[in-house]
Amino acid sequence: MMARFGAIVSSLWRRAGGRFSLVVLGLWVLVSLVSLVWTPQPLWRTDGYDVWAAPSAEHWLGTDGTGADIVSWLMAGSRTDLLIVILTVLFAGALGLLLIAAMTARNSVLANTSVVAVDALISVPTILIALILAVPLGASVAVIVVACGFGYGLNLARVARPQALLVARSAYVESAVSNGASGVRVLFGHIVPNILPVLLVQLSLSAGTAVLAESGLTYLGVGVPSGTPSWGHSLATTVRFITVYPLTVLWPGLVVTVVVVALNLFGDALRDAVDPVGNPALRRVAVEETEA
């Protein structure tokens, strides 16, 4: 087990994209944790005489229009975005798997109905769902997670369906079913491992898009509520002054860009690292384990 984990991590590290994404994502998690106990400046210390300040020893990245410390808000915002990404990926993944299970079901009525339902629902824009959800919920993290998770889950199911169907109709699944394997067992034993490459890439894309969506929805006022630190919040409060104080927009924009790129690269690298078909190092570990 440890050897397998080691092989996966070293495969990730060997690729430039994998190394970059591991460093960025590791920093993200670290900063999120640190921000719980420490930020360079207290979040709510604002100074009306020190607005739009340039970077200095006191304010490493300067201050915004309320005189709040930009770097402190970005640090605190990273944990909100981390939470949103994790919840969105979990939600999208769970919904996607549920739909894949339905679409590959042996019951043809269920399979056909779910395919039609996914095709119909996928045409509803994420932003529309968010705006509708915001009516009862107001601006909240839940709006982002549910709207994004819903859209990405549908997309995931549709993208993974062809591969999942190939597996579901394969001879090895027929062999398993003739031995009495249940639908759940086939799903998690055969279908999921074989569509994992597609799942990982799609979910990492979803994670990146969730960060972008957080910024967009927060700017529209239906995302993270005002006063809660988030990268989208940092962008929304500064972007109107981009022509006057471009640096204050640059910092959150840079963070979002780097993280989104890292998430996409991470998905590609992880796909290649965890797949025994594509990663010979992982297969060697399995052989060594049984020879021992």
CB of 109 to other proteins, least distance (A): 16
179/243 with CB nearer other proteins: 179
Amino acid identity, position 170: S
109/171 with CB nearer other proteins: 171
92/191 with CB nearer other proteins: 191
CB of 186 to other proteins, least distance (A): 10
Q: Please give the structure tokens belonging to residue 135.
A: 């009516």
CB of 262 to other proteins, least distance (A): 27
CB of 14 to other proteins, least distance (A): 17
C-alpha–C-alpha distance, residues 161 and 165, integer Å: 6
CB of 180 to other proteins, least distance (A): 5
- Tell me the torsion sign for CA atoms 115, 137, 228, 222: positive
C-alpha–C-alpha distance, residues 174 and 177, integer Å: 5
Q: Which residues bind other proteins (CB under 8 A)?
A: 170-172, 174-176, 178-181, 185, 190, 193-194, 196, 275-277, 283, 286-291
Phi, psi of 135 (to 5 degrees): -65, -55
116/292 with CB nearer other proteins: 292
227: phi > 0 → left, psi -120 to 50 → alpha, else beta; which?
left
Amino acid identity, position 248: T
23-62 burial, b at 16+ Cβ within 10 Å, e below that, comes to: ebbeebeebbeebeeebebebeebeeebebbeeeeebebb
As to burial, measured by CB atoms within 10 angstroms (0-12 exposed, 13-18 middle, 19+ buried), residue 103 is buried
140/163 with CB nearer other proteins: 163
197/223 with CB nearer other proteins: 197
CB of 284 to other proteins, least distance (A): 9
